[in-house]
Structure 1
Amino acid sequence: MMEPFTRVVGQDWRERGVDAPLCRRLEAALRTAIADGRLAAGAPLPSERAIAAGLSISRITVRQALAPLIAEGRVTTRPGGGSTVAGAGPAHRDENRPSGSAGPRRTMLRSHADELAEKGEPVETRLVDRLTGPPSAPEAMTLGLGPGERVLRLYRLHCVGDRPRILELTTLPAAAIDADAAIVSPSAALAAAGLPATRGVERFRAVALGAVEAGLLELPEGTPAMRIERVSYTAGGRAVEISRAFCRGDGYEVVAELSGE
């Protein structure tokens, strides 16, 4: 069953980009197969277990390879329904996504503080907390971390004047970067470590603030806010940063240029 799929990703997929983690090599092979039509839009993918068994790799490696493709909408999943190829171009609409939502927003990769500063407002970033510890299972999967590896978590408030606008939790691979430099600028710290982020995938979701987030943003618990989840990648496809930001609804807006093409 798996031999045809092995031919699709290429018998030599392990040898391509040997400096990259195995999951990123498989991700690259899947991207190529989708782009050149060997994995056609609408084609079902084998299960994670079947792919892992056929390629003699772990299921976590398969999951890490598929995660960016799922986040970008190139592969869609349904609970109990497996995974399906969406296509190589702009992401197809997921049937589980509300009908009024749009596809990926394409814009420049920049920090939330930069977006505030572009409005001409003086921005102050305050460190709330800094923690180093083991990653959660989703963080380990996204960042491609193995057993025993740790992450750096930065909790920061981006303020305009004395008013908090954005609460941001940034998760980075601890072994790769200078923690003190990351407090000032995670992107600069990644670049200094030879891991510059060149692209990212963002998801926007309206939420009601919990007690902790609301307190830090100086709002009543339950206040509506925008939650922005971002995963940033290097040019080689390695995920190097996870950002979860809670933005006050009265101080943040999204502007996107749309095209009919």
Structure 2
Amino acid sequence: MGQKNTVAETAETFFSDQPVILPPGGPLYLQLKRWIEDAIAGGAIKPGDALPSERDLAIKVDVSRVTVRKAVAQLVHEGVLVQRHGSGTFVAPATQRVEQSLSQLTSFTEDMARRGMSVRAEWLDRGLYLPSPEETVILGLSPGERASRIARLRLSGDVPLAVERASLSSAVLPKPEEVADSLYKYLETFGNRPIRAIQRIRAANLGEDDARLLQVPVGSASLHIERTSYLASGRVIEFTRSIYRGDTYDFVAELRLGDAPGNGGTKP
């Protein structure tokens, strides 16, 4: 067997009858993994395309099905491939990274519209609930007051980007089922749009439920954001927890020297 195989050569041999030359080095399943990656890079299989069956790959490459299974499992874990129960294994859809500024208070819908991206939401929940202790404290709820909760899966095309779970006072949002595309736009019609917010961002690995919603492997990297939003009066209007896919979002903040000219400071 030869010792070299280019990405282009891999692409040419992926669906042909030509003999397969795996990239050398490391265990056999890692060689097969690199060969599949080269086939994707060379365009032999594109995002959304189905991979040949485990049996067909084993025969073509002349390796055991256990080797194929290990290579595919590694690629699924890394998000290169996705497996759909009863359908097979597919090349993961290509994702477009989105940059979101941390210096402006905008809704998800507004932020995506500025980028010319079409977005949609799949509702996960809209209703009135007995508040949790955390909601009672953060939202300043009175005894007997309910929490209005809305939860949405945010998508661009067919690609899920984020899961948003917002809590508001039922006095502010008595009919959560009336919220359509933008929560902030809805609040604005009643003079309750927030004017400032505090956000806390942390990195975390996705659990099973959120990974399923975002269509990525369990344990994938994500950004968890807690936003507490305020009215001009200083009253808390909204408490939102959002989970963003780590492979689709970059958060960008502009930093300035505190006493720099033009930033409220004075020249030295």
Q: Which runs of 4+ in 1 moved over 4 A?
A: none
- Residue 121 of structure 2 contacts residue 154 of structure 2 at CA under 8 Å; is this kept in 1? yes
- Structure 1 residue 230, shift from structure 2 partner: 0.2
- The equivalent residue for 2:60 is none
- Structure 1 residue 116, shift from structure 2 partner: 3.0
- The equivalent residue for 2:211 is 214
- The equivalent residue for 2:39 is none
Could you tell me which runs of 5 or more consecutive residues in structure 2 were left unpaired when the two chains were aligned.
1-100, 259-268
What SS does the corresponding residue of 1:139 show, helix, strand or coil?
helix
**Gap change, CA 1:184 and 1:164, over 3 Å in 2:** same
- The equivalent residue for 2:202 is 205
- The equivalent residue for 1:231 is 228
- Structure 1 residue 154, shift from structure 2 partner: 1.0
- The equivalent residue for 1:66 is none
- Structure 1 residue 239, shift from structure 2 partner: 0.3
- Structure 1 residue 242, shift from structure 2 partner: 0.8
Match of 1:164 among 144, 160, 173: 160
- Residue 197 of structure 1 contacts residue 240 of structure 1 at CA under 8 Å; is this kept in 2? yes
**Gap change, CA 1:226 and 1:155, over 3 Å in 2:** same
Whether 1:144 and 2:140 are equivalent positions in the alignment is yes
- Structure with bigger helix share is 1
Aligned ranges for residues 35-184 of structure 1 at < 5 Å? 107-177=103-173, 178-184=175-181
Q: Which moved more, 1:198-207 or 1:131-140?
A: 131-140
- Structure 1 residue 254, shift from structure 2 partner: 1.0
CA–CA distance in 2 between the matches of 1:114 and 1:194? 18
- The equivalent residue for 2:191 is 194
Could you tell me which runs of 5 or more consecutive residues in structure 1 were left unpaired when the two chains were aligned.
1-104
Cα shift readout 1:128-156 (whole Å, capped 9, x = no counterpart): 22232111111111111011111111110
What SS does the corresponding residue of 2:186 show, helix, strand or coil?
helix
- Residue 158 of structure 1 contacts residue 165 of structure 1 at CA under 8 Å; is this kept in 2? yes
CA–CA distance in 1 between the matches of 2:181 and 2:109? 11
Cα shift readout 1:96-147 (whole Å, capped 9, x = no counterpart): xxxxxxxxx9611111233333332211122122232111111111111011
CA–CA distance in 2 between the matches of 1:106 and 1:161? 24
**Gap change, CA 1:189 and 1:119, over 3 Å in 2:** closer
**Gap change, CA 1:140 and 1:116, over 3 Å in 2:** same
- Residue 181 of structure 1 contacts residue 188 of structure 1 at CA under 8 Å; is this kept in 2? no
TM-score when normalising by structure 1 = 0.57
TM-score when normalising by structure 2 = 0.55
Aligned pair count reads 157
Identity %: 37
CA RMSD of aligned residues (A): 1.7
What SS does the corresponding residue of 2:249 show, helix, strand or coil?
coil
